[in-house]
Amino acid sequence: MANISDIIMQQVQAAAGHLEIPSQVKSQVLGGLGDSILGSLTQTASKAGGIDAIKDLFTGKTQAAASPVTALAGKLFTNNILSKLNLGQGLSSSLSGLIPTILGKTSSFIKDQDGDGDVDLNDILLSLTKSGVGKAIGAGIVTSVLGGLFKKR
């Protein structure tokens, strides 16, 4: 089974396939899209209310275009990649506009990981942990924040 970082990169490749990205920066742009999305998931998960924002995104309660996860991914991509490459306003806007599409399609790949018959927070966490995002969040956050969530729910 593919992990979430693989799924994100597949969606990045598919979404950006129709854009003419200069070959000398293409891998940097595509990698930057994937890294920005994974970074957004990691940073969002470590904030108060972040787990709920991720859950709402991946369960479809919040549309990708309206999600704070998407907004943060866009900021990260703009600040860390686009601002350094000078690709022009049109291409930069087109690339940034891919983020909601990528996250929307990625959320459709989150499946029932724990065999309980539904897609819930536990399934999302299992997907993130398999991708390394859960490891990037850190054991302290996983045990304190996420542990607290599971005790409350």
Which of 36-40, 70-74, 99-103 reaches the highest mean pLDDT?
70-74
CA gap 93, 33 in Å, rounded: 13
- pLDDT at res. 60: 82
CA gap 89, 82 in Å, rounded: 10
CA gap 52, 26 in Å, rounded: 33
* Angle, alpha carbons 146-72-63 (nearest 5°): 80
Reported confidence tier of residue 3, pLDDT bands at 50, 70, 90: low
Average pLDDT over residues 32-59: 88
- pLDDT at res. 119: 64
Q: Which residue is listed with tokens 């956050």?
A: 141
Judge whether residue 31 has pLDDT over 80: yes
Output Rg (C-alpha) for the chain, integer angstroms: 16
Reported confidence tier of residue 106, pLDDT bands at 50, 70, 90: confident
Helix (H), strand (E) counts: the chain: 11, 0
Average pLDDT over residues 133-144: 43
Residue 97 CB-half CA count within 13 A: 8
